[in-house]
Structure 1
């Protein structure tokens, strides 16, 4: 049963008060329309529409000394607050969380600016990307593709109460066929086999199982997926564990209809046959897409080198009139 404290905190949003859990046992209360707080690491918060004195309030709520805090302005309406006692591990986690957060905000802003009304979420897993789109204010259609049967069922449950979130249990590729996917725990299942580097880095590759899946061409599904949208402005997100260019090839003549795309591009090959970053970007640029942002997805902790980037791109000629 929820505690009295928890019931009170759950009631406050109805009274136009934001509740932000800062740490276990500590919550920050702010009036709506004032500050918005986003945790971006174990000892760091991003505060929008913040003021310098606000660090003291965060510190008191977290039980920390204000003198240990520092803040960095991120534009006229946001500040990043950092606990000065960040260790190396905390620092690394903060970088990852901050990059993820800023990447998601960049995509959300791009979707608004280009008036996107349908996002194709290829390699959806259990809907993490779709949920983040909704959290950042996107209300248009989401069309998700996830071929692993158990994962697709979890995705359906996530999307079932959202009438504008459609789920297809397919992989996408250059040709339509039945194929086998290597099912891996988490979000790394792939049609491709892991490389020696992939096997050494990810122990989960040692425990995989094959599953037969349907592979479809994206262009064979576009008319159905855009049904009911009067003036489609689609956006393509690819996260297929080394298979992005194959899925992109299957879009055929529809490639020029996407106002933007994002794709995981690799500096280190985790899967056999996956393209390197330069090849992937050259392919997308040849179709008229240009880079608007690069955000690290995975980084090697020991060396600091980036293994994969989320590459966000758009078409300069696709701006709305």
Structure 2
């Protein structure tokens, strides 16, 4: 028996609309087409738009790879939070709240604690979190010590407390302007944890860092309390965009020395011409904190 859903898809096709049937209750409907669909698992598809020949950048065939990596990382983190029974995510370098929204869309219902010092992004972050009772916002950066520092602005999502490296300046035109700055408060992670975790009976925190080269400073600011985190996520650099930021081998070694082990590595950006990965999202776990009885037990 043909369902109403299938009848609607058939009618759309007869009207000249392109239809991709993804299975029960799911389809992509497009007036122009121009997309690719890749099946990632029995219940997951990756659908991405295709560039026209005239708009496609020379030798740049990595768009689908980036979209796939981002989708897989999101799914991996969502599963991780369930498996490790995480009930508080520290979102450091929250920008406009993209990560927090992604957590909610992925089904996470625990506490989110976001940190963002840049005024424009902070206003949008607060707007994103205003109706969520368990999403806290701190208007500051995190680092190794308590201080007031100069933040470079005008670099969109790449605003940083660090100067751009020679490689970063060559790669991104936005780094040419280093004159637009603001002063931001920097606090230590261990100093804010008690307040952020208040009301959670058995805290199982997860640390996400995306601070444009400053992740190791945030990590250092956790002090001995880093031992309380069941997992973490850091953007690590294979090619350094910021002066003084660590190479990924240095960062991962420090994280491993603190007891974390890699559960996933996902490319964030690549060089179009060479295919070299610039940065990875590195997801790590403290395996001893995995529930003995399995997820959700």
Q: Fold match, TM over 0.5? A: yes
1:183 aligns with 2:165: no
Q: Equivalent residue for 1:112?
A: 82
Give a deviation string over 1:74-97, Cα, whole Å, max 9, x none. 444445679999977685221111
Equivalent residue of 1:133, what SS?
A: helix
Q: Equivalent residue for 2:138?
A: 168
Displacement after TM superposition at 1:247 (Å): 0.4
Taking CA–CA contacts closer than 8 Å with sequence separation of 6 or more, which of the two structures ends up with the larger relative contact order? 2
Give a deviation string over 1:217-270, Cα, whole Å, max 9, x none. 000000000011111110000011111011000001111110000000001110
* Structure 2 residue corresponding to 1:224, chosen from 195, 199, 203: 195
TM-score by length of 1: 0.77
1:129 aligns with 2:99: yes
1:300 aligns with 2:271: yes
| Unpaired stretches in structure 1, ≥5 consecutive residues | 1-16, 18-24, 38-57
Q: Equivalent residue for 1:241?
A: 212
Q: Distance in 2 between matches of 1:312 and 1:210?
A: 31
Going from structure 1 to structure 2, the CA distance change for 1:239 and 1:149 (only over 3 Å counts) comes to same
Kindly indicate whether the alpha-carbon contact (under 8 Å) linking 2:86 and 2:110 is maintained by their aligned counterparts in 1: yes
Going from structure 1 to structure 2, the CA distance change for 1:296 and 1:114 (only over 3 Å counts) comes to same
| Unpaired stretches in structure 2, ≥5 consecutive residues | 1-7, 9-16, 293-297
How is 1:250-265 mapped onto 2 (pairs within 5 angstroms)?
A: 250-265=221-236
Going from structure 1 to structure 2, the CA distance change for 1:176 and 1:315 (only over 3 Å counts) comes to same
Displacement after TM superposition at 1:64 (Å): 6.0
Q: Equivalent residue for 1:282?
A: 253
* Structure 2 residue corresponding to 1:147, chosen from 92, 105, 117: 117
Displacement after TM superposition at 1:184 (Å): 2.6
Q: Distance in 1 between matches of 2:121 and 2:38?
A: 40
1:96 aligns with 2:76: no
Equivalent residue of 1:221, what SS?
A: helix
Displacement after TM superposition at 1:148 (Å): 1.0
Q: Distance in 2 between matches of 1:75 and 1:180?
A: 45
TM-score by length of 2: 0.83
Give a deviation string over 1:49-88, Cα, whole Å, max 9, x none. xxxxxxxxx5x866669xx98x765444445679999977
1:138 aligns with 2:134: no
